[in-house]
Amino acid sequence: MTQLVWNGLFVGSFYALVALGYSMVYGIIKLLNFAHGDLYMLGAFSGFAVLSALGGVSAAMTLPVLMAVLLLTMVSTGLAGVVLERVAYRPLRGAPRLSLLITAVGASFAIEYGMRAATGPDPRVYPVRLSGTSIEVFGARLTLQQLALIGVALVLMVGLNLLVTRTREGRAMRAIALDPRTSALMGIDVNAVISRTFFLGSALAGAAGVMAGAYYGKIDFLMGFLIGLKAFTAAVIGGIGNIPGTMLGGLVLGLLESFGTYWLGGEWRDVFAFGVLILFLTVRPTGLLGERVTERV
Amino acid sequence: MLEISGLDVHYDGVHALRGLSLTVGQGEIVALLGNNGAGKTTTMSATSGLVRPSGGKVLFEGEDITGLAAHKITSRGLVHCPEGRRIFSTLSVHDNLLLGGYLVRDQAEIKRRIDHVYGLLPRLAERRAQQGGTLSGGEQQMLAIGRAMVTGPRLLLLDEPSMGLAPLVVAQVMELIADINASGTAVLLVEQNASAALKIAHRGYVLENGVGTLSGTGEELRSDPRVVEAYLGGS
């Protein structure tokens, strides 16, 4: 039982990381960025490239090296997100939402098959594994690295939430989400803030990509497709555009999958996850924490 | 302080402004009057950078700001308080004011300005933690003006601040505008409520179909039979 909870929290914490970028981008420009899962894939490959260049990692050094790789990957994936926004989405600012959505699907294919063209279709074995000695925590077995990665994910999520709720930059993001034109009148450079939002969201997806590579041990150019949909599900469960809601949604989805797999068998995992998505879209489309606003006109 | 000359604006095929010229001097309140669709809001938007003019020039404090991005124009001290108040509805009153101070890097200065606004408008101070969208129309208008004050304008563009407000509240808003002006800020005031605007304006322009048709001091316009006929409801 406790094992199921831990597994769920672990997988859920990187669902949450990916979902946050989804949610932030949706919040600020109302775009469902279908290419977001592919940024996660880019992150996994960028981490792979760095780790391979280092030429294997000694077991004792795994954690510090992994952290350094994580940081590098976050920067490179973040920049990839900025380029994506600049090239694919900004020229369509003000265009109908459907055009933007179709562009996002196109961008997703472009990144996936661009990666396939660059590295070939075969899956890669991640040069680092989260094995190591496992320890007992509340009757469940997990490794120190796993614990560390959950910790990193938590730190990133809490940090993001503080940034959005407490800082001038976060206030600008929230203002643009509500009304970009008026935000510009406050002196906010709207394009620059949107760029930085893509950077942050993509960096979190990149971090999750490295974590997933190290956890599952295998990466391929289509790995972002499913996680993109899962992140969307997590965001909907929690309340899309709502940061704490999205984190919660990721964790809830991870737990649901973990228990669903246990009860129904592994082959039902995705059916279970997307069944929950449909349930939420029907019954509570605003998500767990998405609230309706009372407004006087 | 502000010199607009020969301003042209086209919106997909519609020629909204046709060579409009106007000036606002240091310390003045200038009213811009006209009916719906005359081009008043377009004039404001083209001045503050929300809309790119297709011709003409906008000079602010002697420098050409025509077609600059809106956030750059704001940073020069020309602040546009838009039509419909445009409060950030799910953010708190205080956050709205802090956004007004987005460009001010000195925390103590932001605090000083916000305290000044709270001093002038105690209702806002009482509701500082409340979501902006839950305020009454008049309070939202006060918040919109307060937010613009925190930005620290040398020229304030106010678009229809009296819209949808009860007469008593209109009077309070006009009084606030006169107070802001008395402390040295020039104001360009767009209004449909011509009588309220001309009471506090030093000068005014009348706009029809994208061109200026009349101009004069507040006194002259108030007694001009054409203005009385068209905008002050006759008699």
Give A4: exposed, middle or buried? Use CB within 10 Å, 0-12, 13-18, 19+: middle
Which domains, ranges and CATH numbers included, belong to chain B?
Answer: 2-231 (3.40.50.300)
- Chain A residues closer than 8 Å to B49 by CB: 184
Torsion of CA A75, A78, A82, A83, to 10 degrees: 80
Contact call for residues A228 and A37 (beta carbons, < 8 A) = yes
Q: Which two tokens stand for residue A67?
A: 């952290």
pLDDT digits (tens, 9 = 90+) for A130-140: 666 777 777 77
pLDDT digits (tens, 9 = 90+) for A202-238: 999 999 999 888 888 889 999 999 999 999 999 989 8
Q: Which overall architecture, per CATH, does domain A2-283 show?
A: Orthogonal Bundle (1.10)
Q: Which residues pair with B206 in a beta bridge?
A: B33, B214
Judged by a CB distance cut-off of 8 A, whether residue A289 touches chain B is: no
| pLDDT at res. A268 | 85
**What distance in Å separates residue A31's CA from the closest CA in chain B?**
20
Mutate to test the interface with A, among B92, B98, B102, B158 (most CBs of A within 10 A): B102
The model's pTM is 0.90
The domain ranges of chain A are 2-283
Cα–Cα distance between A29 and A14 in angstroms, integer? 23
pLDDT digits (tens, 9 = 90+) for A63-116: 788 888 899 999 999 999 999 999 999 999 888 989 999 999 999 999 999 999
pLDDT tens, N- to C-terminus, chain B (235 residues): 999 999 999 988 888 899 999 999 999 999 999 888 888 999 999 999 999 999 999 999 999 999 999 999 999 999 999 999 999 999 999 999 999 999 999 999 999 999 999 999 999 999 999 999 999 999 999 999 999 999 999 999 999 999 989 999 999 999 999 999 999 999 999 998 888 999 999 999 999 888 888 888 888 888 888 888 777 765 4
Residue type present at position B74:
T
- Chain B residues closer than 8 Å to A171 by CB: 91, 95, 98-99, 102
| pLDDT at res. A209 | 93
| pLDDT at res. A150 | 86
Beta strands per DSSP E along B100-224? 155-159, 186-191, 203-208, 211-217
Q: Which residues pair with A228 in a beta bridge?
A: none
Judged by a CB distance cut-off of 8 A, whether residue A190 touches chain B is: yes
Residues 6+ apart with CB under 8 A from A115: A38, A41, A42, A45, A221
